[in-house]
Amino acid sequence: MKRETCLLLLAATHAPLLAQHTRPNIVYIMTDDHTAQMMSCYDTRYIETPNLDRIAADGVRFTNSFVANSLSGPSRACMLTGKHSHKNGFTNNEHGIFDGSQQTMPKLLQRAGYETCLIGKWHLVSTPTGFDHWEILPAQGDYYNPTFIQMNGRHVVDSGYVTRLITDKALAWMDGKREKPFALFIHHKACHRAWLPALDDLELYEDKTFDLPPEFHDDYATREAAGKTEMEIGKDMDIVYDTKMYVSHAETPATRLSSSYERMIGRLSPAERSRYDAFYVPLSKTFYQEWGNGYNFLPRQSQSSIDGSRDARLLEWKYQRYMRDYAKVVHSLDQEVGRVLDYLETHGMLDNTLIVYTSDQGFYMGEHGWFDKRFMYEESLATPLVMHLPKSYQRRGAIDEMVQNIDYAPTFLDLAGAPIPKDIQGVSLLPLLKGKAATKEDKKAIKRWRDAIYYHYYEYPAEHDVRRHYGIRTDRYKLIHFYGHDVNTWELFDLKKDPHELHNLYGQPGMERVQKQMHRRLEQLQIQYDDPQR
């Protein structure tokens, strides 16, 4: 046989393999509770996140990126299925078990010839399906010397800090020889409560005083459900568990969560514990000397009475401790994401990889006096979303279209050249990413982009006491219905005039037309997404 014929034959036999090689890899990095206010490419007020900003600087940054249900498990289920909670069945963390037999994006990627891997927080109770390799944290997982569950069911305790360990495992998996394109899901525990920093980062941000957000002293007037929560920094943040004021078991007053705190830091080795204590114990001693008793829960009204009183000073002190510890945890996250970027760069994989950085939801950094999430208000409805694009995708900079976490599944399938099943409720974001290469069809899709997103939160009664609610957000307005148990209230906000959502306009004179339109659009979306709760 002639050499040319031989080569041609060889190419023909390997055609599917060669074609697969040209399909981009996907590296999806999802953190827990990392909010856009604490990411400098979104917000420059608080901290620097140079590595996360690198993704945005070389790629795109979504300025209107939202979740469908602002809570870990539900958010993950939306991402995996491309469907709203009422369709994927995982509506809340407390009672949910994800039905892993259903259609999921990782399974469809596998079918399309991708190798799939998941490392880190899973939080969906059932065993992961659709991954060729996985290693997960049990439930919320731990920051220090965490346990991982392996595919064979073994629970193994690893030495080190969780953010670093998850990155190590993800890089090790990429090092393995693969013939196929891959989708790697790196799911961090950071920066979930109780914001325990890497030991190397304990000293960071200690000389920084963070400005209070403008709506810190919210009195919740006109918003009944907002006034009923258990997520106020003053009244609900635990002085031991959250702000880490702990001397020793004997010398620390017992709080509601102090035994949970002892369990978390009890995972440190004696040497690590000495380093940890060398930082927090002196701070704690000073704290208890200054505040004595009556330091823990502040009454609700103290949130709105800034008068230099003892309560107001303590409230601000708690806020500073919260911001500092959260910032430390984000610092290591940023560094570890940098390691992933460096790895892809040094291995020549940047041009052929879609890198996505996002979080399972946003978070309150003192806005409305809160920590935590759950509400459909902007800080927790939003989630950061930046992407580094494969070479042929030319869009750069800010993308303002409204996108949601149900869009990730169809986007990845589209990128893999796999068909997008009709029952997926999200839409592919690829048309927004093509830039100059956009086809007529893409331009049409952009022109007809969604004008509203739908949201539904279910976890009540539960921790933090956020009432169930659903609603829609357009580029200008937001309509929310809080329902069930002890509430049945509607809220309407003009996001342009009232970006902090302090003035509920529902039922106000002059709002009749907008209110009617928003109701109509809400009903349309509930029909479109087939939500039985309406």
State the minimum distance, in angstroms, from the CB of residue 257 to ligand SGN. Answer: 6
Residue with Cβ nearer Ca ion (190 or 315): 190
**Position 33 contacts ligand SGN (CB under 6 A):** yes
Q: What is the 3-state secondary structure (H, E, C) of 3-40?
A: HHHHHHHHHHHCHHHHHHHHCCEEEEEEECCCCHHHCC
Query: Residue from 24, 29, 33, 85 that binds Ca ion (CB under 5 A)?
Result: 33
Ramachandran region, residue 453 (left: φ > 0; alpha: ψ -120 to 50; beta: rest) = beta
Look up tokens 């991954």; give the residue. Answer: 131
Could you tell me which of 55, 161, 72 has the C-alpha nearest to residue 389? Answer: 55
93 binds ligand SGN (CB under 6 A): yes
Picked from ligand SGN, Ca ion, none, the partner binding residue 367 (CB below 5 to 8 A depending on kind) is none
Integer Cα distance of 260 and 239 in angstroms: 12
Distance between alpha carbon 293 and the CA centroid of its chain, in Å? 36
Q: Which is nearer to ligand SGN, 188 or 217 (CB)?
A: 188
**Contact flag: residue 189 with ligand SGN (CB under 6 A):** no
Report d(CA 284, CA 270) in Å as an integer.
Answer: 19
CB of 373 to Ca ion, least distance (A): 7
The region of 125-133, 188-196, 197-205, 477-485 touching ligand SGN under the rule CB under 6 A is 188-196
Residues 174, 25: Cα–Cα separation, whole Å: 11
| Residue 81 amino acid letter | T
From Ca ion, ligand SGN, none, which one binds at residue 41 (CB under 5 to 8 Å depending on kind)?
none
Give, as ranges, the residues between 99 and 128 that touch ligand SGN (CB under 6 A): 123
* Structure-block tokens of residue 512: 């009749």
- Least distance CB 33 / ligand SGN (angstroms): 5
- Given 60, 71, 385, 479, the residue binding ligand SGN (CB under 6 A): 71
The residue count of the chain comes to: 534
- List the one residue from 372, 407, 491, 501 that touches ligand SGN (CB under 6 A): 372
Q: Does 72 bind ligand SGN (CB under 6 A)?
A: yes
- Nearest approach, Cβ of residue 502 and ligand SGN (Å): 23
Does the footprint of Ca ion cover residue 379 (CB under 5 A)?
no
Task: Check residue 360 for interaction with Ca ion (CB under 5 A).
Answer: yes
**Residue whose C-alpha is closest to residue 357's, from 222, 473, 190:** 190
Per-residue contact string for residues 125-164; x = within reach of ligand SGN by CB under 6 A: ---------------x------------------------
Query: Hey, which residues does 29 pair with through a beta bridge?
Result: 186, 357
32 binds Ca ion (CB under 5 A): yes
The answer to whether 463 and 489 have CB atoms below 8 angstroms apart is: no
Stretch near ligand SGN under the rule CB under 6 A, chosen from 189-197, 343-351, 376-384, 408-416: 189-197
Q: How many residues bind Ca ion (CB under 5 A)?
A: 4
464 contributes a contact to ligand SGN by CB under 6 A: yes
Q: How far is the CB of 522 from ligand SGN (least distance, A)?
A: 25
- CB contact set of 190 (below 8 Å; sequence gap of 6+): 31, 32, 34, 143, 162, 163, 329, 330, 332, 333
- According to the binding rule CB under 5 A, does residue 459 interact with Ca ion? no
Q: Angle at CA 398, nearest 5°, toward 395 and 400?
A: 105
With CB under 5 to 8 Å by kind, the binding choice for 193 among ligand SGN, Ca ion, none is: ligand SGN
Cα 402 from Cα 470, distance rounded (Å): 17
What residues have CB less than 8 Å from 486, skipping those under 6 apart? 228, 467
Interacting residues with ligand SGN (CB under 6 A): 32-33, 71-72, 93, 123, 140, 192-194, 257, 360, 372, 463-464
Interacting residues with Ca ion (CB under 5 A): 32-33, 72, 360
